[in-house]
Amino acid sequence: PADGTPTETRDAILLAARASSQADHDTLAAAFARRGLGSCAVSMPRDSLVFTGVVESLEVHANVIAEAPVLAAFSSCDRDDVVDAGERGRIVLAISNRGGKSLAGATAALTTTTPGVSVTSSPIVLDLDSYEATAIAFDFVLDPTITEPVDGAFELSIRGGDSCQDPLTIAIPARLNVDDVVSSSATDSFDAGSSPWQSTFVAIWKLHRETALDGSWRGVAPAVFSDGSLESPPLTAGSGPLTLSFTHRYSFETTNGSVFDGGVIEYSLDGSTWIDVMTLVPAIPYGATPLAGVGNALAGRVGFTGNSPGYPATETLTLDFGTQLADQMFKIRFRLATDNTNASAGWDVDDVVFTGIVGTPFPVQIADATACSDAPPTDGGSEPPVVDGGCCGTGTPTSGLLALLVLVALRRRER
């Protein structure tokens, strides 16, 4: 493969050999293992320059890999793709065997300790040939008496079959019994299912969840040249004072007093020209040392560098713009830039609060506002009632269509 890691190159060679001869495949797999590239070997990250993270393996095994789970609501009466009280859901995972040995007799099971949530599917027996993939699905139900948002916590475990990790356990968080109310607050806690903030470089800024109900934006600082921003939707300042408060923490690369990665906050009045907020708030607590490094987009500028005070704890920062932006439309962005040497943890941003803006541009996560109902027809006839909320019925979930779609997506990605 182009730009392949050592393990990706190994797998390409083994797949080609296996296409013509299983015996040749087995001989090559054993030879790779003798040299440390057995089935359980782990390559360094694709962008690594220092080879940190390499794991040797001297044996041939099955190697079970689980893709990111997909959660879907069945018997959903409000059709919001969130499993609410009284509704049934399904968790689907694409499972593949990336090892040089078949997986035989492994068992996959889904469990949860979340009150009011019950897994209704039995464990599944897995038999996968080398480099084979499948999709597995588990159903669950929420108690119809639940009234608050549920921080769903599931765990998938795969045991047996002579796999590299035995057991392989995967935590699966799930937002349950929630609704998102759009355009309803001047505060954004980033807990809603979607965000009006935009990442200009999705490999840098991603919506991150500490738990299923608690979101934040995380900007990573890779060991390559990068320049990515987290950009607000258009905002309008009122005629009075404007403030911006947020919680954050950051950890950026420093070496012998020099700083090479960092972040700044910028504003724009036209969406294309960006200016550092330090021009409006000179007291912003940037570091004193300008960023260094040829090729860094922020080289020569001061910004948030090194570690934030008390890191890894978060701190709250308030920027007072006064009336400098009064009656103007503007945008804010958190901008992160790196050089091409060492990676670092980056920048976490949460709980953004604006005072003095016009309107409420941000969403709020609340408990599902609809009700589970199996009431009899209200007109005395045979027509079923209109159900304004979660379903209490126990009909059969749809077939394995979702599982099939997940498997198709996985196989397309493997080509």
415 residues of the chain, pLDDT tens digit each: 888 899 999 999 999 999 999 999 999 999 999 999 999 999 998 767 677 889 999 999 999 999 989 998 876 666 778 999 999 999 999 999 999 999 999 999 999 999 999 999 999 999 999 999 999 999 999 999 999 999 999 999 999 999 999 999 999 999 999 999 999 999 999 999 999 999 999 999 999 999 999 999 999 999 889 999 999 999 999 999 999 999 999 999 998 999 999 999 999 999 999 999 999 999 999 999 999 977 899 999 999 999 999 999 999 999 999 999 999 999 999 999 999 888 899 999 999 999 999 999 999 999 998 765 544 444 444 443 333 345 554 444 443 455 445 544 545 444 4
- Which helix (H) or strand (E) covers residue 88, if one does? strand 88-97
The confidence score (pLDDT) of residue 195 equals 96
Integer Cα distance of 415 and 411 in angstroms: 7
Residues near 304 by Cβ (< 8 Å), separated by ≥ 6?
250, 252, 262, 263, 264, 286, 287, 347
Cross-strand bridge partners of residue 154:
112, 172
* 59, 295, 313, 336 from 207: Cα distances, Å: 38, 27, 19, 15
Compute, in degrees rounded to 10, the torsion defined by CA atoms 300, 303, 304, 309.
110
Going from the C-alpha of 48 to that of each of 45, 70, 108, 163, 204, the distances in angstroms are 5, 30, 34, 27, 16
C-alpha closest to that of 173 among 145, 153, 193 = 153
Q: Which tokens go with 391? A: 């379903």
* Domains identified in the chain and CATH numbers: 1-60 (no CATH), 64-177+394-414 (2.60.40.10), 180-365 (2.60.120.200)
Q: Could you tell me the pTM of the whole model? A: 0.83
- The pair phi, psi for residue 326, each rounded to 5°, is -55, 135
